[in-house]
Amino acid sequence: MTSYDYDLIVIGSGPGGQKAAIAGAKLGKRVAIIDRQEMVGGVCANTGTIPSKTLREAVMFLTGMSQRELYGASYRVKQDITITDLMARTQHVIGREVQVVRAQLHRNGIDLLNGFGRFVDEHTVAVEGTHRGDRTTISGEFIVIATGTTPARPSVVDFDEERILDSDEVFALTEIPSSLVVVGAGVIGIEYASMFAALGTRVTVVEQRERMLDFCDPEIVESLKFHLRDQAVTFRFGEKVVNVQVSDGGTVTTLASGKRIPAAAVMYSAGRQGTTEKLDLAAAGLESDNRGRLSVDEHYRTPVEHIYAVGDVIGFPALAATSMDQGRLAAYHAFGEPVHELTALQPIGIYTIPEISYCGATEAELTSSAVPYEVGISRYRELARGQIVGDAYGMLKLLVSTVDRKILGVHVFGTGATDLVHIGQAVMGCGGTVDYLVDTVFNYPTLSEAYKVAALDATNKIRALDRFTTH
């Protein structure tokens, strides 16, 4: 029998890689994980999820955004917010998160090898450190590729890490720009657009498609656009950037329509591609698609069966939460541990200001598949907790089957949306009906009470329909 240095080698220490490594170690296996020293914790901890969500929290707190309903439109916790104020909190949280990751790996006896991993053959990986000649080679029975993604950069634009940035470089800004062009109205672009708008930056969003976030509930996206416009955000849909010029005074972005947009800085958020370029995939008998992504089967196995791939490098949904579970499931499958498939019901959270979250079907999906439903709505301004927290715009929308009264979808906009959605997810996951929510006592005053109000709204409408049809 061939003997390997490790039972499992994991390349990349983001959420997918970490959880694969820990699951392997918990099964008593010898595990190594590879990443560059400054990237332990992955894109998630260092440049993506954690920094962006901490930045959002700092923006919300320092601008006093969420308190203005109570204290007036000019209320601010700090008058002159600097980039240092924002970064202090962000760096602190990143530091803590990386410590947690390192401690978890250490506690579970996982070898953390610092450097860049590259295939030598299908069971062997070379780990190249930053110093010349710093190279080790290790072999593993199973390998998990969890190398994530990097921002896609159009070749026509000269990124300078100062005025023209990609979304991983936001934290390199030395000051809060007075104006900003955001290219790409995907989740990351819109999240940052809303944060800078809250800081007082005049933001222009350029998107080549006619709409944004078209997988979400259109009514909620409309509410978000209304709020962002109110924060001086300009949307340019159906427009393409042809070039960006830089001068000492700032930047000018030229669109194919001839429009020219001056701004202090430009941030590109136009998709991401799999970080596989330098992995030497061919040495392992693998290849990526034209966006650097790897294809896998339902067990996260690549075509080379002992090599798995998880997380953003395999594409949709490219979320930290999903990546973690994929990593765990890949390791379990490799070592013959029984696994359950992930439930199909997965939440989507968008941390714009205000935030959006949903789970289950959208109205458009139900309509196109001819599933009859009724809508129950609760507006935060009619909830005592909504008044207390000063959220006058939030709403929760339940989609309820008029056939069997099951909850088919929940869509939330406003304070706490990304947490609140999980109540609906749990009810839906257990096959619950709207009556469960009607008959459940919620703490008062809470935002969770929105479920009861929306459930009552839906049942009242269904009752009205029943009355009409039975007479």
Ligand X SMILES: Cc1cc2nc3c(=O)[nH]c(=O)nc-3n(C[C@H](O)[C@H](O)[C@H](O)COP(=O)(O)OP(=O)(O)OC[C@H]3O[C@@H](n4cnc5c(N)ncnc54)[C@H](O)[C@@H]3O)c2cc1C
Give the shortest CB-77-to-ligand X separation in angstroms.
24
**Nearer to ligand X (CB atom), residue 214 or residue 277:** 277
CA–chain centroid gap for 192, Å, is 12
Binding mask 219-248 for ligand X (x = CB under 6 A): ------------------------------
Q: Does 53 bind ligand X (CB under 6 A)?
A: yes
How many angstroms separate the Cα of 232 from the Cα of each of 180, 196, 261, 262, 348?
A: 11, 11, 15, 15, 26
Stretch that binds ligand X, among 68-76, 174-182, 275-283, 454-462 (CB under 6 A): 275-283
186 is in an annotated binding site: yes
> Residue 194, interface with ligand X (CB under 6 A)?
no
- 58 Cα distance to chain centroid: 18
Q: Partners of 63 in the beta sheet? A: none
7, 9, 14, 176: residue in contact with ligand X (rule CB under 6 A)? 14
Q: Does 147 bind ligand X (CB under 6 A)?
A: yes
Residue of the chain from 179, 253, 273, 275 that contacts ligand X (CB under 6 A):
275
The answer to whether residue 274 forms part of the interface with ligand X (CB under 6 A) is no
Token pair, residue 398, equals: 């339940």
Site residues for ligand X, 293-332, by CB under 6 A, read 311-313, 318-321, 323
Residue of 8, 9, 17, 270 that binds ligand X (CB under 6 A): 17
Piece of the chain touching ligand X by CB under 6 A; list 13-21, 201-209, 433-441, 450-458 = 13-21
Nearer CB in complex with ligand X: 7/355 = 355
- The span of 28-36, 241-249, 333-341, 450-458 binding ligand X (CB under 6 A) equals 28-36
Nearer to ligand X, 324 or 383 (CB): 324
Give the contacts of 262 (CB within 8 A, at least 6 positions apart). Answer: 179, 250, 251, 252
CA 42 to chain CA mean position, Å: 14
Question: Is 191 assigned to a binding site?
Answer: yes
For tokens 């890949």, name the residue: 330
Supply the DSSP string of 392-445, one letter for each residue: SS-EEEEEEETTT-BEEEEEEESTTHHHHHHHHHHHHHTT-BHHHHHTPPPPSS
Residue 308 CA from chain centroid, whole number? 22
Residue 225 annotated as binding site? no
Query: How would you class 79 by CB atoms within 10 Å of its CB: exposed for 0-12, middle for 13-18, buried for 19 or more?
Result: exposed
Binding of ligand X by 120 (CB under 6 A): no
148 binds ligand X (CB under 6 A): yes
Residue 263: beta bridge partners?
251
- What are the φ and ψ backbone dihedral angles of 429, each rounded to 5 degrees? -60, -30
Q: Is 157 in the site for ligand X (CB under 6 A)?
A: no
Among 6, 10, 15, 450, binds ligand X (CB under 6 A): 15
Which stretch in 43-51, 205-213, 221-229, 236-244 sits in contact with ligand X by CB under 6 A?
Answer: 43-51
Q: Give CA separation, 423 vs 369, 429, 449, 459, in Å.
A: 25, 10, 11, 18
Binders in 325-384 for ligand X, by CB under 6 A: 349, 351
- The DSSP code sequence of 188-248 is HHHHHHHHHHHHT-EEEEEESSSSSSTTS-HHHHHHHHHHHHHTT-EEEET--EEEEEEET
CB of 190 to ligand X, least distance (A): 11
Query: Beta strand pairing status for 135-145 and 6-11?
Result: parallel
The footprint of ligand X (CB under 6 A) covers 11-17, 34-36, 39, 42-44, 48-49, 52-53, 116-117, 146-149, 167, 188, 275, 278-279, 311-313, 318-321, 323, 349, 351
Q: Which segments are annotated as binding site for FAD?
A: 53, 117, 312
Q: Which segments are annotated as binding site?
A: 53, 117, 184-191, 207, 271, 312
